Structures are given as structure tokens and as C-alpha cells.
Amino acid sequence: MVHPILKLVVQRVALGILLLLAASVLIFVGTQILPGDVAQSILGQSATPVSLANLRAELGLNDPPVTRYFNWLSGVLQGDLGTALSNGQDIATAMGRRLGNTLFLAFWAAIIAVPLAIVLGLISVRYRDRWPDKLISGVTLATISVPEFLVGYIAVFFLAVQLQWFPSIASVYDGMTLGERLYAISMPVIVLVLAVLGHMMRMTRAAILNVMQSAYVETAELKGLSQFTIIARHALPNAVAPVVNVVMLNLAYLVVGVVVVEVVFVYPGMGQYLVDHVAKRDVPVVQACGLVFAAVYIGLNLLADVISILANPRLRHPK
């Protein structure tokens, strides 16, 4: 008999693959219905009808959409993301460095945001309905209510222009030391932390408060344990599943939702790469970026599901 955990994990993985396949279809269809002519945008307005026809044939634009989709999907499955129309570069090679920069930015934002959110959630529960709780909730709610680009421009004005603490442009390049890279990305990291901190803190607070109503928490209180000990040792471990879900969702956002932040700070990541090639109507690059973003988002959500399943004691110890 198959173990319930293994069965659920296999189901989640299969569902994730189907979702990614569906996302690839939506991405391909979305790029095909964009207005304009790819061949025309490459050759310019002065191109002759013959040269346009030859380029369309060379790019396979005359093939049926279904054929073009399966040709593209076949290449992706073999690790070939295609060639950029605007400069002739291999997309996988050009994207590798950009993706590394985006993951570097998201990693350091997560290193700060996740522990800070959990600690603030614990403090908020410990001082529930008192001024620390109200202050933390009010500030974090304000940070998630303001658009990232506005927070970014405000941060640039005060921290870069007025105080001159950080550079206004997050420029990174080969040969930089770790300290230099961290200093360069300070501003976008601050903006990303503010963007995701509120969601994670509020979910941590809600999950722990829900667990605090359990009978074993009341037993711990009757034993005379301190409030913070009860929260940290008894409530938090049993609130792992919802907290992990919201953390993973926000980690996915840190990778997928950095487009605006990267554009504001001119950071050479995936978001800036995507925006640059959308302006050029470079369809293969847009498709590849969209598929990578979808894979990251679905993959992190899948990981959250698996961790939630493994954290469920009823599934780990079935009767």
C-alpha cells in the first residue's frame, strides 16, 4: 500500500507539471496575439516585401501556430530556449547571468525578510492588542499598501540623493567583491523586504493566534510556562504549514515580481532583461522569460505544498 505522504507528493508534482504546461500554452498564445509584425520590427519600416517574406519563412512565422508551439516546446525540453531576434545571442546563455543576478537579489532580500517577519509575528502575538502589536501591524500594512515603484523612488530620493548612503543605481558586474555587490543592491533589497514583510508577518501572527486556542496551549499555560516560551516552543512549530505557504509565496514573488524594482534601480536581472526585449518585440526572449518565471513560481508553490504535507503529523503517522 502506498504511503499517504508519497501519494500526495506525487499528485502535487503531477499537478505542478500540468500547470507549467498550461502556463507554456498561455505564454505562447499571449505572445502570438501581440500587435505588430516581428519581421517588420527586425528589418524596420524600409524593408521590402520580399525581404519581409524571406525573414518570415526563415523564422517559421508562416507555419501553423500549433506547429510553432510544439517546435518551441520541443526545444525547451532539450534545453534550447532559442535565439534572440534583436541581437542573435543564445537566450539560455544570455539569461543565465541575468537569472543569477535576480536570484542573488531575491536571496538576500529573503535572508532579511523571512526571519524578521517571523520575529515581528512572535512579538505581535506576545503583545496582542497592545501598542507593539498595533505599531507593527500598522507599519507593515502601510508598507504593503504602497506600490513598489513609489517606495523605490522615495528611497532613492531620501537614501541616495539626500543622505547619500546608498547608490541610486544597482550596478553589478564581474570582478566585484561580495561586499561591493551587497552595497550595490542595498536599495532594491530594502524595497523588496518592505514589499513582502507585511504579508509574512501578518500570516505568521494569524497562524500562531489560531494555534493559541488549542487545548495543549492551555495545558502549557496551566504548567506556568512563560507566554513567550509557549508561543515559541508550542504554538510556532504547529503553525509551520500556513507560515511556510505564505513564505514560499513571497519568495516566489521575490523572484517573479522583481520586474518593477529592477527597472527602477536599473538592475541587470531577469526583469530588466524582459522589459528591454518587450520593447524590441523580441518574442523568443519574452517567451523564455515568461516560462522561467512560471517555472519558478510553480516550483516554489510545489515546494510549499510538499513541506506542508511533511509537516502534517496526521500524514506522518497514519493510523
Q: Count Cα neighbours of 83 within 13 Å in the Cβ-side half-sphere.
A: 6
pLDDT per residue as tens digits for the range 65-102: 788 788 888 888 887 777 777 777 778 888 888 888 88
Residue 221's pLDDT is 67
Q: Which of 289, 225, 282, 245 is nearest to 96 (CA)?
A: 289
Q: Which of 138, 132, 105 is nearest to 267 (CA)?
A: 105
Q: Say how far apart CA 134 and CA 315 lie, in whole Å.
A: 37
Is 314 a residue whose pLDDT tops 60?
A: no
- Average pLDDT, whole number, for the chain? 79
User: Residue 120 burial (CB < 10 Å; 0-12/13-18/19+)?
Assistant: buried
pLDDT per residue as tens digits for the range 205-215: 887 777 777 76
Domains and CATH numbers, the chain: 36-80 (no CATH), 91-316 (1.10.3720.10)
Q: Which of 19-23, 217-221, 234-238 has the highest mean pLDDT?
A: 19-23
> pLDDT higher for 12 or 57?
12
